[in-house]
């Protein structure tokens, strides 16, 4: 809890929860997020109150936290509670089906020494989308923001960067293999394998979250992670991934 935390704590305690309750309080969103992620373990069940994009309380920060939980803890049960939809009629809405799984386009790129950071991401995007300037101008800034704000470690030597983009209409995975190790502001390790996930901005949030969870789950297999890290080229990693999707 951040703003008005004492009042909110009092309301929660007044509700008399039927199970033991511990309330953690923080002064900033960064502090709250850090406490939350540090408190999660692999067998937990997490329930997160969310807001729809059309709601006045929607914030990208909470949505990014949800994505981070999916990526770091693919084995937990995560329940996201959204406000009820407002229907024009009083009749019950038809059952909402989960979005169909969409097969991503898969690309690969060998990143030369000296092309770390933004230059490396540009190399990967060009390999996937060619010289399409519109896509390039949309995708690269989104990936750079993601790289600087919340890169995710999938396993030792492997990092994930992900973004939503308006100019992309099919999910894309770009697998990059760098000659040199990359370091990131928010991660302690160093990485040579970059996994980039680009999702259409128009697609349901659930689709992006499922893709994140699938990637994280894939790299939980230590044998596969070793194969990826020992691959002689990015193309070899791409062939391995194509056999999985």
Q: Which two tokens stand for residue 42?
A: 């692999």
Q: What does DSSP say about strands 172-183 and 190-200: parallel, antiparallel, or unpaired?
A: antiparallel
Model pLDDT, residue 18: 74
The residue with tokens 């697998």 is 175
- pLDDT tens-digit series, residues 70-98: 778 877 877 777 776 554 344 444 444 45
CA distance 228 to 219: 9
Q: Model confidence at 54, in pLDDT bands (50, 70, 90)?
A: low
DSSP state of 169: -
Q: Which range among 99-108, 164-173, 231-240 shows the weakest confidence by mean pLDDT?
A: 99-108
Higher pLDDT, 99 or 8: 8
Q: Where are the alpha helices (DSSP H) in 15-59?
A: 29-39
Q: CATH number of the domain at 105-242, out of 1.10.3480.10, 3.40.50.150, 3.40.930.10, 1.20.1560.10?
A: 3.40.930.10
Q: Is 198 helix (H, G, I), strand (E, B) or coil?
A: strand
16 vs 99 pLDDT, higher one: 16
In which residue ranges of the chain is CATH 3.40.930.10 found? 105-242
Cβ–Cβ contacts within 10 Å for residue 68, how many?
Answer: 16
* Model confidence, pTM: 0.66
Q: From the CA atom positions of the chain, what is the Rg in Å?
A: 20
In which band, very low, low, confident or very high, does the pLDDT at 57 lie, cut at 50, 70 and 90?
Answer: confident
């Amino acid at each position: 809890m951040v703003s008005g935390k004492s009042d909110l704590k009092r309301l929660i305690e007044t509700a008399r929860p039927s199970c033991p309750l511990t309330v953690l309080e923080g002064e900033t969103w960064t502090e709250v997020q850090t406490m939350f992620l540090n408190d999660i373990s692999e067998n937990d069940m997490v329930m997160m109150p969310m807001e729809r994009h059309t709601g006045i309380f929607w914030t990208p920060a909470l949505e990014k936290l949800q994505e981070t939980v999916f990526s770091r803890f693919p084995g937990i049960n995560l329940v996201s509670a959204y406000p009820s939809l407002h229907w024009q009629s009083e009749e019950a809405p038809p059952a909402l089906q989960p979005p169909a799984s969409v097969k991503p386009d898969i690309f690969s790129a060998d990143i030369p020494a000296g092309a770390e950071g933004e230059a490396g991401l540009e190399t990967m995007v060009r390999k996937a989308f060619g010289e399409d300037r519109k896509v390039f101008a949309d995708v690269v800034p989104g990936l750079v923001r993601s790289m600087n704000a919340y890169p995710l470690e999938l396993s030792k030597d492997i990092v994930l960067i992900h973004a939503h983009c308006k100019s992309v209409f099919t999910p894309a995975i770009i697998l990059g293999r760098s000659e040199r190790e990359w370091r990131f502001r928010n991660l302690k390790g160093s990485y040579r394998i970059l996994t980039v996930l680009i999702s259409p901005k128009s697609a349901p949030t659930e689709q992006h979250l499922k893709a994140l969870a699938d990637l994280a789950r894939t790299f939980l297999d230590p044998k596969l992670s070793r194969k990826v890290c020992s691959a002689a080229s990015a193309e070899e990693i791409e062939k391995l991934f194509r056999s999985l999707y």
